[in-house]
């Protein structure tokens, strides 16, 4: 049992909750932060708090943004007849980096996972359907990870979208089975967009 002061133990425990951070790394981070000039440590904690308080969910697409509707939804240069469905808002950044997609986005907020108790009602499906009621949207691209849950979600979406007159496609070309959008390089992702297939 480490005999750290309680506050330090707490900080270490918090760091350990980050992905890929074990006990030793967490300790290193905590020690480093305490050695940093006080101003830097304050600026870091302030940045964290500001992120938490300033970011909000865009009422239209569901992405986190400084404002709602977000700049992507209000950008008049985007193609408003195309909608790209992603599971997590962070995927938008990966896709934007490719420069391949000029349409709008819709964040589902997860993928279907019966094991984790994530059913259709936990996703932003109702919001998606509401958006598709606008005849303006002609194409929906499903950009969801090629995993078991991702595939199940994509199939479910396909069924649900049949009632709308939209062309549905899914990123496929160049996306290896079991791959996550997060780990696919920009070139592969760009290729997946231009080679998207009817679904």
Site residues (vs Zn ion, CB under 5 A): 58, 60-61, 70, 73
Nearer to Zn ion, 107 or 192 (CB): 107
CB-based contact 138:168 (threshold 8 Å): no
- State which residue, 124 or 175, has the beta carbon closest to Zn ion: 124
Q: Closest distance between Zn ion and the C-beta of residue 29, in Å?
A: 33
Cβ 31 to Zn ion, closest distance in Å? Answer: 40
CA dihedral angle for residue 169, residue 172, residue 175, residue 176, rounded to 10 degrees? 130
Distance between CA atoms of 190 and 196, rounded to whole angstroms?
A: 10
Q: How far is the CB of 95 from Zn ion (least distance, A)?
A: 14
Taking the complex as a whole, the smallest distance from the CB of residue 167 to Zn ion amounts, in Å, to: 22
Nearer to Zn ion, 58 or 171 (CB): 58
Angle, helices 23-35 vs 38-54, to 10°: value is 110
Q: Which is nearer to Zn ion, 60 or 142 (CB)?
A: 60
What CA dihedral angle connects 101, 107, 112 and 118, to 10 degrees? 160
Structural tokens at position 165 = 């007159």
Phi, psi of 106 (to 5 degrees): -145, 125
Extract the tokens encoding 60.
């239209």
Task: For the CB of residue 68, give the shortest distance to Zn ion in the complex, in Å.
Answer: 7
Token pair 């297939």: residue: 197
Number of neighbouring beta carbons within 10 Å of residue 175: 22
Which residue, 6 or 133, is less far from Zn ion as judged by CB? 133
């Amino acid at each position: 049992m480490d005999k750290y002061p309680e506050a330090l133990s707490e900080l270490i425990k918090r760091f350990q909750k980050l992905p890929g951070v074990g006990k030793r790394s967490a300790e290193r981070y905590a020690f480093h932060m305490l050695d940093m000039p006080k101003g830097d440590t304050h600026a870091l904690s302030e940045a964290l708090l500001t992120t938490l308080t300033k970011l909000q969910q865009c009422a239209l697409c569901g992405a986190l943004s400084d404002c709602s509707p977000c700049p992507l939804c209000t950008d008049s240069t985007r193609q408003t007849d195309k909608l790209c469905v992603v599971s997590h808002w962070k995927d938008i950044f990966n896709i934007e980096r490719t420069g391949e997609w000029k349409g709008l986005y819709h964040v589902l907020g997860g993928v279907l996972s019966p094991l984790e108790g994530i059913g259709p009602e936990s996703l932003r499906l109702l919001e998606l359907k509401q958006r598709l009621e606008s005849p303006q949207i002609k194409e929906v691209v499903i950009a969801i990870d090629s995993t078991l849950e991702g595939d199940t979600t994509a199939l479910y979406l396909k069924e649900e979208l049949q009632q709308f007159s939209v062309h549905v496609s899914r990123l496929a070309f160049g996306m290896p089975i079991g791959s996550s959008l997060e780990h696919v390089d920009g070139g592969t992702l760009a290729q997946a967009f231009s080679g998207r297939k009817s679904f």
